C-alpha cells in the first residue's frame, strides 16, 4: 500500500484486485477500526479464504485431497544467520498420501525476531 491509500477502505469491487499483503493488512485494520470496515469486513475474509492454498486442496502429484499443515523458519542472510535471527517463515502443505510438500512464504513477526536475537533460536 502506498501512503495515499494506507487508510482508505477498499470498495467491495476493489477487494479481488488487492495483493495478498494488502488484503492481510486491511483485515488487520478491520479489527482495529471496526466502524470504518464494517461494510467490507466479510468480503475481505471471504477473499482471503479463496486464496488459501488449502481451499479445495488437491495434490498436484497424486490427486489426493487430504493434507497436513506444517511450518519452518529460516535465516535469510549472513547477518541474521550469524546472530541466530530467523527472518523467513514458510508454511508447508503436505499431502497426507504421498507426502509431496508445497511451501508458501509467510512473515516472522518483529517481536519473535527480537526474541531470537536475545535468546537464540
pTM of the model: 0.58
pLDDT tens digits for range 1-36: 455 545 789 999 999 999 888 888 888 888 888 888
Cβ partners under 8 Å of residue 64, min gap 6: 58, 95, 96, 97, 98
Burial of residue 118 (CB within 10 Å: 0-12, 13-18, 19+) is: exposed
pLDDT tens digits for range 27-81: 888 888 888 899 899 999 999 888 888 888 999 999 999 999 988 877 666 554 4
Q: What's the confidence (pLDDT) of residue 55?
A: 85
pLDDT tens digits for range 69-118: 988 877 666 554 455 545 677 888 999 999 999 988 876 555 544 444 44
Amino acid at each position: 500500500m502506498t501512503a495515499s491509500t494506507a487508510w482508505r477502505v477498499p470498495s467491495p469491487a476493489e477487494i479481488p484486485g488487492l495483493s495478498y499483503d494488502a488484503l492481510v493488512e486491511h483485515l488487520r485494520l478491520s479489527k482495529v477500526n471496526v466502524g470504518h470496515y464494517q461494510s467490507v469486513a466479510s468480503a475481505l475474509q471471504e477473499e482471503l479464504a479463496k486464496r488459501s492454498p488449502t481451499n479445495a486442496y488437491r495434490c498436484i502429484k497424486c490427486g489426493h485431497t487430504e493434507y497436513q499443515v506444517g511450518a519452518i523458519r529460516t535465516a535469510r542472510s549472513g547477518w541474521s544467520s550469524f546472530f541466530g535471527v530467523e527472518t523467513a517463515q514458510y508454511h508447508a502443505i503436505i499431502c497426507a498420501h504421498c507426502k509431496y510438500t508445497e511451501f508458501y512464504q509467510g512473515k516472522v513477526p518483529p517481536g519473535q525476531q527480537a526474541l531470537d536475537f536475545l535468546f537464540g533460536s
